[in-house]
Amino acid sequence: MTATMTDQPAQAQDAGGPAGEGPGVAASLEAVLLVADEPVPESVLAEVVQRPAADVIAVLRELADSYTRERRGFDLREVAGGWRLYTRAECAGVVQRFVSDGQEVRLTQAALETLAVVAYRQPVSRARVSAVRGVNCDGVMRTLVLRGLVEEAGTDQETGATLFRTTGYFLERLGLSGLSDLPELTPFLPEADDMTDGGRGNGQ
Amino acid sequence: MTATMTDQPAQAQDAGGPAGEGPGVAASLEAVLLVADEPVPESVLAEVVQRPAADVIAVLRELADSYTRERRGFDLREVAGGWRLYTRAECAGVVQRFVSDGQEVRLTQAALETLAVVAYRQPVSRARVSAVRGVNCDGVMRTLVLRGLVEEAGTDQETGATLFRTTGYFLERLGLSGLSDLPELTPFLPEADDMTDGGRGNGQ
Amino acid sequence: MTIMTTGETGETAAAGGFQVHLDVFEGPFDLLLALISKHKLDITEIALSSVTDEFIGYITALADAWELDQASYFLVVAATLLDLKAARLLPSGEVDDEEDLALLEARDLLFARLLQYRAYKEVAALFASRMAEQARRFPRRVQMEPRFAEVLPEVLIGLGAAEFAAIAARMLKPRTPAAVSTAHLHMPQTSVREQAEILLARLRSLRRATFRQLIAGCAGTYEVVARFLAVLELYRDGLVGLDQADPLGELVVCLALRQSSQQDPDQEDDRDHD
């Protein structure tokens, strides 16, 4: 129970391990991730295991790599600004057979396009999105909000229009760790586009 | 490190399965156990991974042993007639710090909405709540149960669906002495409300 | 990753004319892109004027199924395409006149919006494949082990009972089907015909007056406009004569001679043009 100042297993104090020796950082991280029900930021993990963030990141990456190397059924991934345990993609068939409940409903083309515009233009009003798509998007936007992929983000100071942005769940669904992971839009735009305003906007 | 949009779909070929087709039994079991909410009987696991129960048991035991040998943060245990992943006992301290860390948890809008529907329509099934909210509420309901605000209340006689009701802790958190203290909805409902059923329902 | 061609492409483009198939296109850009890729054309000016007929054919075929707000987007694009096509049929010279400039601007804007839309559409396709791939992975999300559930921090509802009830009321409120708002419409406050009567009455006593005189006392711009339209109507019907010395100069309106023999303006119906 005594906290030694050695840099060995730093988190040994309260772990109550049998042989008086606490779990290693890797084991501690595994345990924490096992009870987490959303992506856990590195800073939180670092605080919980009481190690510098850099160490924690290194261990997380090594864990993730080892799971892949060992072809385990789980997978440690960095998404939506944090780390979270997932089942491995190759096991999808088995897991689906087991859960069988709510498979995600596929988004319509309209919803996907609206989501794309919101992702790159956020915060953005419905009217702006409609202008880009050339078609009204009110119903689609409501669906995206209900699905938790998009949320309200205040109102436009000039027009008073409600603004929308993507959510953390959106990042998770796409397996992105942050908005900066979105592919650049420019390669898709042959010319220095965009009459309406400054492109990507405040994507972050 | 972070996944970018241009990633190829992860190596979909084999995952340690014999003869390189699909994931192996061990990986499949790990994946299923990762998403299992309660102990899973061997018979169920055998059916899901489509292997004889004896094989499955052998693999489960070997997995459990290897987790212990490798001093992983998780622990595969046979309890209550099934197998479930738990955090390793040695890691209890870290996990506790993680779980209890941070301030009070503020409910999300989705959780508040679900809670509100349960409060005024109890006992109520998940399907009913989902229908009212227009979006699946399974995850949110689980959170509410986990947080002790909502609990199971038997099953619907006709449909067999699990019913839910609010708890005493819910009343406490809302500062009410009983369900009869919940404000009437009528003043909030502009129109003669609720075609679906008899208003407040059996609230008490 | 290569850019994928999206949408309903080529193979079905059998020889011989446009075939209506009932794809529902997500807006005019979607349709335009589909047409362009069907002909394996680049997005160029030629592409735009070449697909004009099919574009118009499509919106004609759908004439009965339009929703109003959707139709307007399509019509704006169709009008622009027609302009562009017409311009290509004419011998082209240097751009020197304002109409040409406006046309060029319209074309460039249409290009830009089309390209922009295509970019988002391609990204949307990436999103779709990405999501499909991600859906194969299930996150860990299970009930807390009982020994830890006890140490979970308190839940903060953060609302009073009344606010909580308001949320419930909002959720449980029966949904009324969406209705088209007519709030932006307003009742016309006058009519051309009404103004025509006023005009004729005044002219009968004055015989001749400047337009400025005739609009004295108008209640607002809408009335001035209506009265001006009435002047044009009366002129068309030969009931008044107009005289204007120079452009933007004073407009003089006089009662036509044959008007002296009292024709009843009530027989005049301002809807019977053409």
Task: Per residue of chain C (274 residues), give pLDDT as tens.
Answer: 333 333 333 333 333 444 444 456 778 888 888 888 888 777 766 677 788 888 888 888 877 777 776 778 888 888 888 887 777 766 655 556 677 777 777 888 888 888 889 889 989 999 999 888 888 888 887 777 777 777 777 777 778 888 888 888 888 877 655 555 555 555 567 788 888 888 888 888 888 888 888 888 888 788 888 888 888 888 888 888 888 888 888 888 988 866 444 444 444 444 444 4
Structure pTM?
0.61
Number of domains in chain B: 2
Residues B52 and B118 grouped into a single domain: no
Do A176 and A128 share a structural domain? yes
What pLDDT, on a 0 to 100 scale, did the predictor assign at position A50? 93
Boundary (domain end) residue, out of B26, B55, B89: B89
Question: Nearest C-alpha of chain A: how many angstroms from C67?
Answer: 10
Q: Do B74 and B106 sit in the same domain of this protein? A: no
Angle between helices B25-35 and B53-69 (to 10 degrees): 80
Domain range holding B168? 102-202
B96 is a domain residue: no
| Residue B197 sits in the same domain as residue B106 | yes
Contacts of C141 in chain A (CB under 8 A): 37-38
Query: What is the residue type of B180?
Result: S
Instruction: Judge whether B83 lies within some domain.
Output: yes
Nearest to B35 among A33, A87, A175 (CB): A87
Nearest neighbour of C127 by CB, restricted to A84, A86, A174: A174
CATH code, domain carrying A107:
1.10.10.10
Lookup: tokens for A152: 């309200």
Is B70 part of any domain? Answer: yes
Could you tell me if B118 and B185 lie in one domain? yes
**CA-based nearest residue to B2, from C79, C176, A182, C216:** A182
Give yes or no for a contact between C252 and C210, defined as CB atoms under 8 angstroms apart: yes
Whether residue A194 sits in one domain with residue A107: yes
Candidates A181, A203, A38; CA nearest to B7 is A181
Beta strand residue intervals within B97-177, DSSP E: 105-106, 124-125, 150-155, 162-166
> Would you tell me which residues 101-160 of chain B have a C-beta closer than 8 angstroms to some C-beta of chain C?
101-107, 112-113, 115-117, 119-121, 132-133, 139, 142, 145-149
Chains with at least 3 CB pairs less than 8 angstroms from chain A: B, C
In a domain, B95, yes or no: no
CA dist B159 and C142 (Å) reads 25
A107/A158 same-domain check: yes
Whether A26 is in a domain gets the answer yes
Of the candidates B34, B68, B89, which is a domain's last residue? B89
Sign of CA dihedral B196, B197, B200, B204: negative
Shortest Cα distance, chain C CAs vs residue A149, angstroms: 12
* SS3 annotation, chain A: CCCCCCCCCHHHCCCCCCCCCCCCHHHHHHHHHHHCCCCECHHHHHHHHCCCHHHHHHHHHHHHHHHHHCCCCEEEEEECCEEEEEECHHHHHHHHHHHCCCCCCCCCHHHHHHHHHHHHHCCEEHHHHHHHHCCCCHHHHHHHHHCCCEEEEEECCCCCCEEEEECHHHHHHHCCCCHHHCCCCHHHCCCCCCCCCCCCCCCC
DSSP-assigned states of every residue in C72-86: HHHHHHHHHHHHHHH
Same domain for A133 and A194, yes or no, is yes
Pair A126, A174 in one domain:
yes
- Please list every residue in chain A whose beta carbon sits closer than 8 Å to the beta carbon of residue B12: 89-90
Domain end among A57, A89, A121:
A89
Classify each residue of C224-255 as buried b or exposed e, where b means 16 or more C-beta atoms within 10 Å of its C-beta. Answer: eebbbbbbebbeeeebbeeeeeeeeeebbbeb
Q: Is A85 on the interface with C (CB under 8 A)?
A: yes
The answer to whether C154 contacts B105, with C-beta atoms less than 8 Å apart, is: yes
Kindly state the average pLDDT of the residues B126-150: 85
- Indicate which of B91, B101, B125 best probes the interface with A, i.e. most A CBs within 10 Å of its own CB: B91
HSE at residue A190, side-chain half, CA atoms within 13 A, is 10
Residue A37 lies in a domain: yes
- Residues in A touching C131 (Cβ below 8 Å): 104, 107, 173-174
Cα separation, B14 vs A145, in Å, equals 37
- Tell me the C-alpha distance between B50 and B44, whole Å: 10
